[in-house]
Structure 1
Amino acid sequence: MIEIGKPKIRSGERPAVRYAAYAADTWEKEGEEALEAISKAQYELGIKYAAAQIKAQGLKGKDASAAGAIYINLLQELSVVHSIIENTNNSFIVRTKGCPFFHEWKTAGVDPLKLCESFGNSFMQGLCEGVNPGLRYSITRSMSGGSPYCEKRIDLK
């Protein structure tokens, strides 16, 4: 079993991009087993990030809007251009342009879509479940899939 290190960095720091490049390199060298390890590590980081943000922001809610507030903070830390499409208790939708990891993954010669699924989606599902196990994260449009932007949803099930 491949273990992926869990960096002790803030998500908005340059080391987060280096960690994304490290994930791409590990996947390229180690194969599909590395994707599983990346996914598990990112999921756990997402849960920890949510707990830290709930405390830092003083969030009381456990709905889609609360998870959205944490996600917006993450996007701001990463300097990702975004626009909120919907923000209710049951559904949070955001569009993003530019990804701090996409270039690193393309430069590494790996499939950005597959790494996005293991790296980004796992982190975000961990973040959502860290707020409320009933929250689900999904991507309806993806730059790594050819769209000019990503559209992401957090839904309360």
Structure 2
Amino acid sequence: MTAAPRVRAARRADLPRVVALAAEHAAYEKAPPPAPDLGQRLAALLFDTPEPRLACLVAESAGGEVVGYATCSPELSTWAGREYLHMDCLFLRDGTRGQGLGAQLVDAVVAEARRRGLDEVRWQTPAWNEGATRFYDRLGARAKEKLRYSLPAR
């Protein structure tokens, strides 16, 4: 009997797969590839610290293959004067979307926010990603238009 698709917390053994999915995610978003040592960086953030800020959740297919992931960490809102949970990544491999795993990942991120005592989750997606926009709208999320900037500190 095949198990149902599910979402769970990532384990150290999942890191090679998460790194591969992060590379697929970057390519999908037309972004540069992840750092070559991403696996070691994620291990340090997720498993090699007593109280990790970063959480990583993985989606498994019915066959047990890790086919998606979500990462999140607390951030601050000056205007609200409180923390919220920032979902940095949410990605499912092509061919595994539309099976309910995306909603399970979002539910797991919301549960992580509650576990941390936070009452809001925020994230962003490229404006051209109409599939993601429709998905998030169906969940009841609302978009706020902003431009995203990045400035190297070196």
TM range (shorter): 0.3 to 0.5
TM-score (norm. length: structure 1): 0.33
TM-score (norm. length: structure 2): 0.33
Larger relative contact order, structure 1 or 2 (CA cutoff 8 Å, min sep 6): 1
| More helix per residue | 1
| More strand per residue | 2
Q: Which of the pair has more CA radius of gyration?
A: 2
